[in-house]
Amino acid sequence: MRFFAQLLKYLLPLILSIGLLGYAFQKISFQAVVEPFMRANYFWIGISGILAIISHLARAARWQLAIAPLGYSMRLFPAFIAVMVGYFMNFVIPRAGEFARCAMIQRLEKVPADKAFGTVVIERIIDVLMLGVLCLVLLLVEFSRLSKFFLDFFETKIGSLLGLWYLGLLAVILAGLLAVLAVVYWQNIKKWRFFPFFQKLFLNIWQGMVSIRRVKNPLLFIAYTLLIWLMYYLMAYVLFFCFPETSNLDMWFAYLILIMGTIGMATPVQGGFGAYHLLVGSVFALRGLSAEQGVVLATFMHTVQTVFILIIGGLCFGASWFWQTKKS
C-alpha cells in the first residue's frame, strides 16, 4: 500500500505536467517549436547562463551565512554543488531538490541534513516573501491591465479552480482534525517507540530555521538575496535580444515575465513543465503576440534554463563523487 502511495505521489505531478503541456501545444507544430532554436543569437544565451551561475553562487554564499550560526563551516564550492544538485533533482522529482541538497551537503561538509533543511525552509520563506513584494509592486503599477489579463486567462478554468479550492479547504480541515487528535492523544503519542527520533528531527529542523536570527552579517544576507533576484530578472531580460521581434521588449515587461515564470516554476510539477509555458506564454499576449507565438517563446526560455540546469547540475552531481573521493 505504501509503495502505491509513493508511486502515486510521483506520478500525479508527471501526469499534471503532461496534461498542461498537451493543452499548451495543442495547436502548435513541432517545426514552430524548433525554429527559434535555429535562428537564436547564442551569444545572449551564453550571457544568460553566466547570470544564472552568478545567481546560484549567490544562493550558495547566502546559505553559508545561514548555516554559520549553527556552528558548522561550509565552503562555497561544496555549497554550490549541493545547490545545483538540488535544482537537478527537482527535474526528476518535484520538491525533492531540497532534500537532495541537504543530503549532499551532509556528505560533502558533514553538516547534519535535518539542521540544513531548517535553513532551506527559511530560504524558501524569504524567497516567497520576495516574490510577494514583487507581485505587490506589479499590482500597484499595472492593476487595471493585469486584472483583465487574469480574468481572461482563468475565464475558461473556473471549474478547475473551484475544484482546487475545495481540495485546499479539505486539506485545511484534515490538518485541523489531525492537530486536534494530536492534542487529545498527546500522552499516548509520547509513548510511541519512534517519538524520540521524530522529536529530535523536528528540534533540529527548528534550530536550522531560527538560525536566521543569528546571522553574523544580515546586510550581506540581504544583499545576496537581492543579487539572486536581480540575476533571475536579467536572465530572462537578455534572452529578449535573441530575436529581432522581441529585442524591443522593455525591462518592465521582463519584470512581468520574471514573476509569472517564477510562479510557473514553483508549481508542483517537474521543472515547471506546462505551468511555465502557459503562464509565460499568456503574458506575451500583452504585447500583441498570438497565444501560439507566446507558448513558443516561453518554450525557448524554459528550455534554455532547463538545459543549463541539467548540464551544470549533472556535472556538479558527478563532481560531488570526485570531491568525496578526494576528501576521503
Q: What is the pLDDT of residues 153-196, one digit of tens each?
A: 555 444 444 444 555 566 667 766 766 666 665 566 566 665 56
Band of pLDDT at residue 229, cut at 50, 70 and 90: very high
The pLDDT value recorded for residue 159 is 46
Residue 199 dihedral angles phi and psi, to the nearest 5°: -65, -45
- Of 10-19, 85-94, 106-115, 149-158, the range with the highest mean pLDDT is 106-115
The pLDDT value recorded for residue 246 is 86
Between CA 301 and CA 236 the distance in angstroms is 7
The pLDDT value recorded for residue 231 is 95
110-121 as b/e, with b when 16 or more CB fall inside 10 Å? Answer: ebbbbbbbbbbb
Cβ proximity of 119 and 208 under 8 Å = yes
* 299 contacts: CB under 8 Å, gap ≥ 6: 33, 36, 277, 281
Range list of H helices, the chain = 2-24, 30-39, 42-67, 76-90, 97-109, 113-154, 158-184, 186-190, 195-210, 218-239, 251-266, 275-284, 291-327
The pLDDT value recorded for residue 183 is 64
- Of 51-55, 63-67, 187-191, the range with the highest mean pLDDT is 51-55
Cell of 323: 570531491
Band of pLDDT at residue 325, cut at 50, 70 and 90: very low
Confidence (pTM)? 0.75
The pLDDT value recorded for residue 265 is 78
| Domain extents in the chain | 39-323
Between CA 95 and CA 266 the distance in angstroms is 9
The overall longest dimension of the chain from CA atoms, in Å, is: 68
Band of pLDDT at residue 198, cut at 50, 70 and 90: low
Mean pLDDT of 260-282: 75
The pLDDT value recorded for residue 77 is 92
Band of pLDDT at residue 21, cut at 50, 70 and 90: low
Q: What is the 3-state secondary structure (H, E, C) of 137-152?
A: HHHHHHHHHHHHHHHH
Mean pLDDT of the chain: 76
